[in-house]
Structure 1
Amino acid sequence: MKREELIRKWLDNELEPKELELFKALDDYEDLLRISNSMQSFKPDAFDTDVELNRLKKSLELKNQQKNWLKPLIAIAAAVVILFGIYQSLSLQETQVSTLASQKQEVKLPDNSNVFLNALSTVSFNEKEWDTQREVQLQGEAFFKVEKGSTFNVKTATGLVTVVGTQFTVKERDDLFEVVCYEGIVRVDHQGQSLVLKKGERYLNIHGALTFNTQTTELNPSWIDNISSFKSMPYSFVLAEFERQYDIKFVENDIDSQQLFTGSFPHDDMDFALKSITLPLNLKYIRNNRMITLKGEQKK
């Protein structure tokens, strides 16, 4: 029996048991039931089987057309969403390089500028936007050799360093912020102040106290050559740098961590390095694996 005849007899409640089984086997049986149920809420004055059959056929045809039309549209929409997500991910994706304790690393930027990271430091930048904005984010300490070109920014949590083409270091550790200019001109914006550094000048801020007129004759930071140097620096910063370079931990007994220290220590000989930072202050130490206990002179 043809599909249309089954539907007509179903509408007229004339289906025999075998015909009812054939009707239930139709592909759109569930759709027919839903349409029939929705039509039961209406009470027309008169019911014409042929008219209703044609109306039902048109409804089913329209529904199938909608399905066929929606499928490619949904596929296109899904593809657009996926492509947009990939574009957003690529456009926002940043390159990030980090160093571990006792590790240093050179990073080549898209314009061939160089960044030399000291231990436990992180630099990040967006290569996709580099042509329009030369900018890096820094945590820790790094030495920069910047190629000439558009403005080059180094952003830290508390300060901004701006240059065009020069060599300089930026250091931000705890309550210390330092910028040293080795070549060219550097502008520093930090804690509401803006100033310009020329070759050999250093900006140093420790615990909020500013020291600007410090001079240096070095051509690059000493840690590039595996030596940490200090001039009138609180001893706590010396110990912190030692921990980063040797991946150890200090325990202090009767130590004045705010006393000033001038000197240096190498990064490739721990025993000699320990003597370099303890003997000038008459300190003793006990080494136990990765833990070093410092002892000061007993007070009488």
Structure 2
Amino acid sequence: MENDLLIKYCEGLLDTASNKEVETWMDASPENRKTVEDLSMLLFLSDRIKAMEEIDVDEMYDDFARRKSILPVERKAIPLWRKIAGIAAIVIALIVSGTFATFYLLDTYSEPIVVSTRLGEKAQVILPDGSTVWLNACSHLAYKKSFLTFKRQTTLTGEAFFEVTPDRRFPFIVSHDNSEIKVLGTKFNVRCNDDDNFLSASLVEGSILFSDADKKLSVKMKPGEHLLFDKQNNTTALSQVTSVEDIYGWIDGKLIFHNTSLEEIGKDLEKYYNVEIVFNDEQVKRERFTAEFEMTDNIHHILSMLELTNKFTYKTHNREIIISSK
């Protein structure tokens, strides 16, 4: 088996046919499987030692000391290359002895980076592994400066579209509350607001595995599928996406609604236009609409167009919009 093919397999860069070829070769003998496992470990070490170049050891120690109430000690300045070499030597020694405690400690005492967007604001984030995240309005994304452990962990509240760098060795995790989405390399959208009863995920490319906190519920998604997770009842429902543009239209400045309740539309309008929408009765919240608008459209234009259906009427008072049944 060619080394280049094995390396691409470990990095998750092969197509389905080539993946099957490598896995068949691995199943042929224990020696073949060990070759791939050793290569994967070597690539892991290479990536993580490179990541350590960005670590400020003195700052990490001071942070550790503050957490554990250790008195600061006077330390002589150490050249950066010696710090990196020292860390690398410790890591290799620990791996030879069969433990990854170093990675655990570095990950534990590394403060997360939090990116937040405000009303009407969007953001693009490049993660340490090269993955790209587009963050919608009123959303929060947390991640570590360096992905030092065996998984690439992120936490999301709000809505985001992920374009994940393939890496078979290290799953990419998106967590929210009592659920998580696990991927290897793919493009997908997640919406998970704290005040919503549902979490939704839509898949464009690749595959993702959705599960709840207890791992009792597990759903593997295919491209073009939309998952709806009921947080209260702990149930899921799968459906087909009408159009790929529906998944990430918001990145291009579009508001796309397909059989969407007026209550959900109202939540989106609140995020993008910094208004408060009040419903006078429960019935009008459940009215459903299919429509497409530009985020540059005036909110009164959007509501006036929807009002033409004769399902509701609205009036405004400062930044408050009151919606009633017709």
* Kept after mapping to 1: 8 A contact 2:107/2:148: no
**What's 1:259 paired with?**
287
* Kept after mapping to 2: 8 A contact 1:202/1:216: no
**What's 2:321 paired with?**
292
Does 1:237 find its partner at 2:259? Answer: no
What SS class does the counterpart of residue 243 from structure 2 fall into?
coil
What SS class does the counterpart of residue 178 from structure 1 fall into?
strand
Give the deviation of 1:225 after TM superposition. Answer: 1.6
Q: Map residues 26-45 of structure 1 onto 2, 5 A cutoff.
A: none
The CA distance in 2 between the partners of 1:238 and 1:82, in whole Å, is 58
What SS class does the counterpart of residue 71 from structure 2 fall into?
helix
Q: Which amino acid aligns with 2:237?
A: T
The CA distance in 1 between the partners of 2:108 and 2:209, in whole Å, is 31
- 1:266–1:287 distance in 2 versus 1, CA, 3 Å: farther
Q: Which amino acid aligns with 1:136?
A: T
What SS class does the counterpart of residue 115 from structure 1 fall into?
strand
The CA distance in 1 between the partners of 2:263 and 2:155, in whole Å, is 26
Give the deviation of 1:280 after TM superposition. Answer: 2.9
Q: Which amino acid aligns with 1:176?
A: F
**What's 1:279 paired with?**
308
**What's 1:178 paired with?**
200
The CA distance in 1 between the partners of 2:149 and 2:243, in whole Å, is 34
- 1:271–1:82 distance in 2 versus 1, CA, 3 Å: farther
Q: Map residues 79-118 of structure 1 onto 2, 5 A cutoff.
A: 79-80=72-73, 91-118=109-136
* Kept after mapping to 2: 8 A contact 1:266/1:273: no
* Kept after mapping to 1: 8 A contact 2:150/2:171: no
The structure 2 residue matched to 1:196, chosen from 203, 220, 229, is 220
- 1:176–1:265 distance in 2 versus 1, CA, 3 Å: farther
The CA distance in 1 between the partners of 2:115 and 2:154, in whole Å, is 11
Q: Single out whichever of 218-227 and 110-119 deviates more from structure 2.
A: 218-227
The CA distance in 1 between the partners of 2:302 and 2:249, in whole Å, is 15
Deviation sequence 1:167-197 (CA, Å, 0-9, x none)? 0011112112101000111111137321111
The CA distance in 2 between the partners of 1:295 and 1:183, in whole Å, is 41
- 1:90–1:246 distance in 2 versus 1, CA, 3 Å: same
Does 1:212 find its partner at 2:238? Answer: yes
- TM-score, normalised to structure 2, is 0.60
The structure 2 residue matched to 1:78, chosen from 51, 67, 71, is 71
The structure 2 residue matched to 1:127, chosen from 124, 145, 161, is 145
Q: Which has the larger radius of gyration?
A: 1
Give the deviation of 1:288 after TM superposition. Answer: 2.7
The CA distance in 1 between the partners of 2:199 and 2:74, in whole Å, is 44
What SS class does the counterpart of residue 148 from structure 1 fall into?
coil
The CA distance in 2 between the partners of 1:89 and 1:152, in whole Å, is 15
The CA distance in 2 between the partners of 1:271 and 1:259, in whole Å, is 18
* Kept after mapping to 1: 8 A contact 2:128/2:147: no
- 1:259–1:190 distance in 2 versus 1, CA, 3 Å: farther
Give the deviation of 1:263 after TM superposition. Answer: 2.3
Give the deviation of 1:135 after TM superposition. Answer: 1.0
**What's 2:185 paired with?**
165
* Kept after mapping to 2: 8 A contact 1:264/1:276: no
The CA distance in 2 between the partners of 1:104 and 1:276, in whole Å, is 25
The CA distance in 2 between the partners of 1:230 and 1:158, in whole Å, is 27
What SS class does the counterpart of residue 244 from structure 2 fall into?
coil
What SS class does the counterpart of residue 222 from structure 1 fall into?
helix
Q: Which amino acid aligns with 1:235?
A: L
Deviation sequence 1:40-75 (CA, Å, 0-9, x none)? xxxxxxxxxxxxxxxxxxxxxxxxxxxxxxxxxxxx
**What's 1:32 paired with?**
none
The CA distance in 2 between the partners of 1:166 and 1:118, in whole Å, is 19
Q: Single out whichever of 229-238 and 117-126 deviates more from structure 2.
A: 229-238
Does 1:246 find its partner at 2:268? Answer: no
- TM-score, normalised to structure 1, is 0.65
The structure 2 residue matched to 1:221, chosen from 244, 248, 256, is 248
What SS class does the counterpart of residue 285 from structure 2 fall into?
coil
